[in-house]
Structure 1
Amino acid sequence: MHLLWTLLVGFFVGLIARAIMPGRDAAGFIVTIILGIAGSFVASWAGAKLHFYAPGQPAGFLASIVGAVVLLAIYRTVIGNRAD
C-alpha cells in the first residue's frame, strides 16, 4: 500500500516542485511527474536512513517536495549543460 501512496504523493509533488522552480527547461509534464515520484522515493529512502521514518514507511508530503525540488535542480543542471 505504501508504494501506491508514494506514487500518488509523487504525482502531486512533481506538480508542486515545478511550481516552486518555474523557468525554462526541457522538462515536460511527464518528466516533471517522474521527478516528483522519484523525489518521493528519494525522500522515503533518505528519511529511513536518517531514522526519520521506519523502513517501508512513505515520506511525508513536505519531505517529498524537498526531494523533488533537489532532483529537479539536478535535472536542470545536467540537461542545461547538455543543451549548450
Structure 2
Amino acid sequence: MEGFKVDQRKLILLFLGLVFLGYYQLGFAQEVIARGKVYLDANGNGTYDDGESGLAGIKVSNGRDVIKTDHLGKYTIKLP
C-alpha cells in the first residue's frame, strides 16, 4: 500500500486559514471605534473652535446602536 502524500504548502495554507478564521470567530479582531464631539457651531464655520459648547444628551448612532453624548458633548461608539 502506498503512503499518503501531503503537499506541505497546501497544509500550511489550510492551517493559516483556520487560524485566521479562529481569530475572528473568537473575537480577537481589532475593534473599530468612532469618537467625536457634538457641539454648537456658534460662528457657523463648520469646524470646532475653542470656546464652542459641547451638546450633552444628543443621540449618536452607528446604524445599529444608539448612544447619547456626555456632559461635554463627547461620544465613543463601536462601529459594526
**TM-score under structure 1 length normalisation:** 0.28
Q: Which one has the bigger strand percentage?
A: 2
Q: Which one has the bigger helix percentage?
A: 1
**TM-score under structure 2 length normalisation:** 0.30
Higher relative contact order (CA 8 A, sep 6+): 1
Tell which structure's C-alpha radius of gyration is larger: 2
